[in-house]
Amino acid sequence: MNSIDLKQRIYNDWEETNVLPVALFVYQFLIDNFDAYADQPVNLMSLFERCNVEGKKFDDIVKSFNYLAHPRFAFLLVRYQLSYNGIHDVCANELFEARQDGEFYHPETGLLVENFEEYVTIEFVLNPDFVIEGEVLV
């Protein structure tokens, strides 16, 4: 998907909603700052504070991030990390199973991590597949 197509999808999907101007701001900000955020988490609160849309709500930023992370677009990727005896990437399925079972085992040591949800963070990062030869191809 290219940037024109994705921008048009944002217009079509959020037309006549309060989310549209916020989603367009988020999208354009990330396009304009793509290199600066390469493999760096995008902070929702920071983007909310930068957003100059009148009447904006934090929920609108969250909806925009979730939209851009949808597999249909995958402009943003969701990264789950366990910060316990180091930082370790974990996948959504592992966390889902741990919530079902009530137990989560450390990915390196294999030891049970008590209250594992306290140590898990969720981050949004730009999808590196959208960058080829330094150009944004979304």
How high is the pLDDT of residue 132?
Answer: 34
Give the pLDDT score at 133: 35
55 within 8 A of 48, measured Cβ to Cβ: no
Give the chain's radius of gyration (CA, Å).
Answer: 17
Residue pLDDT, tens place only, 62-79: 999 999 999 888 899 999
What is the pTM (predicted TM-score) of this model? 0.75
Query: H/E element holding 99?
Result: helix 92-101
Which segments in the chain show pLDDT lower than 50? 131-135, 137-138
Q: How would you label 48-74 residue by residue, b for 16+ Cβ within 10 Å and e otherwise?
A: beebebeebeeebbebbbebbbeeebe
Q: What is the pLDDT of residue 131?
A: 44
The answer to whether the beta carbons of residues 82 and 113 sit under 8 Å apart is yes
How far is residue 127 from each of residues 73, 75, 104, 119, measured CA to CA in Å? 10, 5, 28, 24
**Residue extents of the structural domains in the chain:** 3-74, 79-122
Given a contact cutoff of 8 angstroms between Cβ atoms, the answer to whether 76 and 61 are in contact is no
